Amino acid sequence: MLDLVQWAADEEGVTRKALLEDWRVKDAHNFAGRVDQGQAVILAFLALASIMVALVYLPRLSSGLVWAAGILMTVGSIGLVFGVIMRAMLPSQVDIWVNDMLLDSSEDIPVSVANIAGDVLRSMVTDAAVDWVVTAVFMVAAGAALLLVALLAKKLRIPLLSS
């Protein structure tokens, strides 16, 4: 794996530790793991909310499943549209931000640091957009499966689900 921080330190002629202290970063590897945890929390919250919506309709659980499916499919569809737009527009916005904020600023920021910041930020934005789209597609698929189960339960008159 390419160590971009070490590469930037070599470009500036300082040690890796000194460069991280200059950037006020304590642990460069500790930041990336926090993003994946948020995605799991959001999916768990959506699953819990879907279960609670279904339990509101306890005498006819299939009606609650239809509502939960509708919510999942609607939120997933909106998230999918937002994710596709984000994937298309944000990388170019990162380039504009790097040029305006880092390279054209009055502070003396080395070009190598600005290039690394731009590359890392562009990569993070692209990865976040892809994760957003995958999560949204999963939500739409889960909603469609839930809707199919609810409709089959009503059609087949399965006890507890359709009574």
Residue 21 lies in a domain: no
Give the pLDDT confidence score for residue 57 in this predicted structure: 65
Q: What is the pLDDT of residue 1?
A: 43
Quick check: is 2 in a domain? no
Q: How many CB atoms lie within 10 A of CB 45?
A: 10
pLDDT tens sequence across 43-70: 777 778 777 776 776 667 777 778 888 8
| pLDDT at 24 (0 to 100) | 64
In this prediction, residue 31 has a pLDDT band, given cuts at 50, 70 and 90, of: very low
Number of H helices and E strands in the chain, helices first, is 5, 0
Average pLDDT over the chain reads 77
Separation of alpha carbons 104 and 158, rounded Å: 67
pLDDT of residue 78: 92
Whether residue 4 lies inside any domain: the answer is: no
| pLDDT tens figures, 69-111 | 888 899 889 989 988 998 888 888 888 887 777 767 666 777 7
Question: Looking at the 3D structure of the chain, how many domains does it have?
Answer: 1
- Residue 102 included in any domain: yes
Range of the domain at 111: 32-156
